[in-house]
Every structure is written in structure tokens, then in C-alpha cells.
Amino acid sequence: MEIVEGPRVVSKPEIHYVGIRVTTPFRGMLAVRNTLMDELCTWGPGRLFHRLHVIDMNGPMDMEVGLVVPEPHEGDDRVRPGVLPAGRYACLTYVNHARRANKLLLEWTRDNGHALDRQDGPGGDHFACRYEAFVTDPRVERMKTKWQVELNIRLAESAVSR
């Protein structure tokens, strides 16, 4: 794993997108993600991202693939409009090894006194907003091991950093 930037805390504005949300097992999730990214690319240019709403490593994952749009969009029966909420996020930009990057960012937030905007619930960990934005455009660079990815996890409003 190569760390490009971070870990750090950043403030992000509200971001509009269109996306496809599905439930899929953890095993095979990335193949589903790739298929959904290809489908969303027909909606035009824009930055792609992979959002995890609910994480259950032993069960179904509630995930979404999105495409950032410059203004709110209606979508259709399958592709729905959405918003990545404004707020403070723990952020890390990396290349390769998503699981290691996620572990590193989660440990960093804990070790630095940041509380994540998440809760335990039925079916796993429910996140207010946790997503990986593709800095490298997957439409241009097909080798996933070369992608720069910005991992973002929203911090709780009451989170106080040390």
C-alpha cells in the first residue's frame, strides 16, 4: 500500500450524485462494484465513488456506486439521486490494498480521539457516510492496483480532535 496523502481531517461540502444502491455479499462485492461503475459511466463524465452504507463482513453489504453530478439530477427507476452530506471527514488517499488503507484510517481516527458518525445496528456497522472516491479515473486506467483512491469516513458532529 502506498499512502499518497493523510490521514487527515477535512471539511467537505454537500456533493450531489446519481447512484445505484444494492445489497451484495462481501465476497464478490468488488466485481459488483465494477459492473455498476461501467453502467454509471453511460450517464456522462464525473467522478466515480464506492459508498458503503452498512458493512457486514460476514453477511450482506449495503453498498452504492455513484457518479458526482454538478447539480441535482432526477435519475430513473434504477439510478437514483443522492447527496454525500457536508461535514468533517477522516480522509486518506492511497494506492492499492483497500483493506489495509481502511484499517489504517480506522486506527488513526481512534488513536487521535475522533468519533465516527456510525452506529451498530442490525446487519452490521451503519455509516452516515463512508465512501471511496476514485482520484484515478477507472475509465482511463483499468489496472485497479494503480488507482489513487480517496477514502472518506464522516466524523460525528460531537467529535473532538486532540
* Predicted TM-score (pTM) of this structure: 0.92
Q: Judge contact between 128 and 154, C-beta under 8 A.
A: yes
CA dihedral angle for residue 44, residue 50, residue 53, residue 58, rounded to 10 degrees: 140
How confident is the model over 33-52, as pLDDT tens digits? 999 999 998 898 899 999 99
Mean pLDDT within 124-129: 93
Question: Nearest 5°: phi and psi at 13?
Answer: -80, 170
pLDDT band at residue 159 using 50, 70 and 90 as cut-offs: very low
